[in-house]
Structure 1
């Protein structure tokens, strides 16, 4: 079976070995605006003489340029591996078998462009690899493949995405076979639907006076590395926290305010009080000067009594 790939990320390159084992790549569509995440895809297409179409949102909506290009390739199906534009209905009906989307959640839960971030931030116990036939409605349509993936303790966005990508690679044979055979009439559930927008600055910011230690750790993990860590400030300077650990120790918080460096461990780093009176060890954080271990940032002058604050 010949398929076309729509992509705007490195997901295609990381799964290409699994794809080419089960189908023929007829062509690749990418956004016209370049991003470095697509450099590997562009290089692969050029090296292997695969037709590559760059397209913008207006071209996609007009349809003529893409319609003629796809029609000339005679591909049986399209597989979407992240794409920034909504695909209009007149394009969805072009391939014989349809257009199919890879989504990292158990649909209909966590519809939207950033499902993995929100699952980690919300403290879900697992994610899911879902492949579904696309319809004019966002993240709807019959399910071709679905497999749950439990999160590991302390798992961040980067590790979770890599594991879901590996899961996709391992199951591309089944997915391609199901598409070819038309075995994608499993409807999505009608309960548990939710939608989350792309995270904004406020969603990435630690609220020391509101969020518990667990909620802060979840946010830090969800924001690393794609969103460059969870945002906080100290002495008017914006910082990004990339890794924390919950400290299970007995202590008396006294009148210390949340976000305050309660203790400095010279071998590990700053230990910060949270609003639920627990302690978080800051393992890794980023300042405008670079990325530092907690131990290094303390050696540079961070001390007990200093306070992390919300971003105003």
Structure 2
């Protein structure tokens, strides 16, 4: 098959490499220009560089336009394969390839369509994540499923752990999907749209800790914002503090959410949860932090005296 690839960052890079290894003819790679967005500066292996190394023509686009449509008609693809293409693809492009567009998405669709699915899934306490290859239609991440693979989420897993495991699924999923499509199969599995949800792109504010969340939820947020992602953060005495490691307290603590309360184990307990005033909540034990100057230190070196509050604003 003649294949065009649309993609960006490491997800797109891995997909292009899988296509190059597949034995099919890669006739064009379409990717985005480099970005300064915090979440797009990490896992930023270049699709353009990989394509150039293998003699594949490259087009840089922020979004599809008439020139791109003309280029696609000229290369006459049998299939377009997408992974981490960040903007809407119009119907005239979806309808152009003989076999349609195969999109590879790092969630177990129909859940966690949209952006940053691993982060949102970990925050929400899902017990598994995965990768789905589906045929694209007019609704984003809603087309019929070709191949889907799941992985368990462990109690100590960070989003960095989950990234490395799921990105390793891309190549086998792409290869299996191409084999199925090339064989003439079209009997794909429709998504159960009653289970669908769609998440927005994350920004720095989404990492700002809300101390009315339960300690369990905040601990998952910390793991979902592990290095090299922008860390979960809070403010202490007017300075931003990034939380690198945390756990849920053994004790039940009452009071006002955000209160720097008591030492427990290797960390400092912060009162958490909307029900904390009733004395029904566990606290968050902060164990390791990073200050604004980039210094990492144990939490008890920062919180040397009990009292005071962690807040969402300086």
TM score, norm. by length of structure 1: 0.85
Residue 117 (structure 1) aligned to one of 103, 116, 119: 119
Cα distance in 2, alignment partners of residues 4 and 198 from structure 1: 25
1:268-307 matched pairs, under 5 angstroms: 268-275=266-273, 276=276, 277-293=281-297, 295=298, 297-299=299-301, 302-307=304-309
Cα distance in 2, alignment partners of residues 49 and 283 from structure 1: 49
1:149-187 deviation digits (Å, cap 9, x = unpaired): 221112222211211111222333211112223434321
Cα distance in 1, alignment partners of residues 169 and 4 from structure 2: 21
- Contact 1:157-1:226 at 8 Å conserved across structures: no
> How many residues are matched?
301
- Report the alpha carbon displacement of residue 201 of structure 1 after superposing the two structures with TM: 5.0
- Contact 2:78-2:97 at 8 Å conserved across structures: yes
- Report the alpha carbon displacement of residue 199 of structure 1 after superposing the two structures with TM: 3.2
TM score, norm. by length of structure 2: 0.85
CA pair 227-311 structure 1, distance change in 2 beyond 3 A: farther
- List gaps (5 residues or longer) in structure 2: none
Task: Tell me the residue number matched to 1:7.
Answer: 7
RMSD across aligned positions (CA): 2.6
Q: Aligned pair 1:186/2:161, yes or no? A: no
Cα distance in 2, alignment partners of residues 4 and 284 from structure 1: 46
- Report the alpha carbon displacement of residue 83 of structure 1 after superposing the two structures with TM: 1.3
Cα distance in 1, alignment partners of residues 143 and 128 from structure 2: 22
- Report the alpha carbon displacement of residue 96 of structure 1 after superposing the two structures with TM: 1.4
Task: Tell me the residue number matched to 2:78.
Answer: 76
- List gaps (5 residues or longer) in structure 1: none
1:109-153 deviation digits (Å, cap 9, x = unpaired): 222222222211111111231111111111111111112222111
Cα distance in 1, alignment partners of residues 131 and 29 from structure 2: 22
Cα distance in 2, alignment partners of residues 171 and 197 from structure 1: 25
1:1-312 matched pairs, under 5 angstroms: 1-22=1-22, 23-34=24-35, 36=41, 38=44, 40-57=46-63, 60=64, 62-63=65-66, 65-184=67-186, 185-208=188-211, 210-225=212-227, 227-248=229-250, 250=251, 253=253, 256-264=255-263, 268-275=266-273, 276=276, 277-293=281-297, 295=298, 297-299=299-301, 302-311=304-313
